[in-house]
Every structure is written in C-alpha cells, then in structure tokens.
Amino acid sequence: MSLKDITSNLRAPINTRVADKPTVKVHSVEWRKVMAGEPVEINPSIGHGYKVMTVDEWSARWKPNEAFQECLQCGSKNTKEHHFMQTWCRGKKKWESECLCLECHSFSFRSYCDPDFKTPEDFEKERWQELVKGEAGKPVLAN
C-alpha cells in the first residue's frame, strides 16, 4: 500500500492512542529492557549477541512514516515507525501503525478500518450462516 492509499478516501475516523510503551506486542519486551538498561538482542544483520542500548541505538534501523510523523504526545516530528500492518479485502482496507517518538519516548498508535470492512474469514462465516439458515428452513423428512 502506498502512502496515498493509507491516507486518502478514508470513510471513517483514524483511531489514535498514545502510550509510554508499545501498545502492539512487537518490541514490547525489548522496550521494557531498553528502559531498564538491560541488554537486548543485536539485530542479526549487523552482529550477534546482546547489548545494552540507548533508545536511539536500538531504533536506529526504523524508518519514519511520512504520513504520520507527528508524535501524538509532544508534536515532535522526530519519530520512527516500528509497526505497520495492513489488510486489503475486496477493495476495503484496514491498517494500523505505531511510531516511537525520539524526543519524549511515547508510542503513537493509529488505526483505520473501512466501516464495511470484512476479512475473508468473515465472508466465509457469513456464507456458512446463510447455508445453515437455508437448511433450517427446509422441512425435515420423516422416515
């Protein structure tokens, strides 16, 4: 999904949330360690083992999300995205993004879902419910 797809043709408000730790599961254990000054795993692409890291060092490889650069806590644009997930299904979209602010160390979470978004599982479930309803409406054959 391009930046334009994320922010254009929105048919519902973007939900936001700000917290002093990741609200998504990813990186939440490491964040606690970084804050406590405990060693965290070095990114396998640059080395191996564990190391005590500063927030800047730990998040060095994350990139900012140009659509959502502003920290929801302090308004700084010195942020980096650590989580992004998107789902497209039959032209409907759903996504979530979380960025870390390097100024105040807050995590800004944003999520969006089209009002009529359904997952492939939802479609499958509905198909089954229709089927079951259809069966229930039929007269039961006695032997």
Q: Does 76 bind Zn ion (CB under 5 A)?
A: yes
Residue 23-62 contact track with Zn ion, rule CB under 5 A, x = bound: ----------------------------------------
Q: Does 71 bind Zn ion (CB under 5 A)?
A: yes
User: Which of 11/21 has CB closer to Zn ion?
Assistant: 21
Residue that has been written with the tokens 């360690």 in this structure: 33
CA distance 85 to 81: 11
Residues 83, 24 contacting (CB under 8 angstroms):
yes
Q: Does 101 bind Zn ion (CB under 5 A)?
A: yes
CA distance 143 to 57: 75
Q: Does 104 bind Zn ion (CB under 5 A)?
A: yes
Please report how close the Cβ of residue 106 comes to Zn ion at its closest, in angstroms: 5
Residues 110, 7 contacting (CB under 8 angstroms):
no
Please report how close the Cβ of residue 101 comes to Zn ion at its closest, in angstroms: 3
Considering only residues 23, 42, 67, 73, which one is a binding residue for Zn ion as defined by CB under 5 A?
73
In this structure, are strands 79-89 and 92-101 parallel, antiparallel, or unpaired?
Answer: antiparallel
In this structure, are strands 15-19 and 107-113 parallel, antiparallel, or unpaired?
Answer: antiparallel
Q: Which residues bind Zn ion (CB under 5 A)?
A: 71, 73-74, 76, 101, 103-104, 106
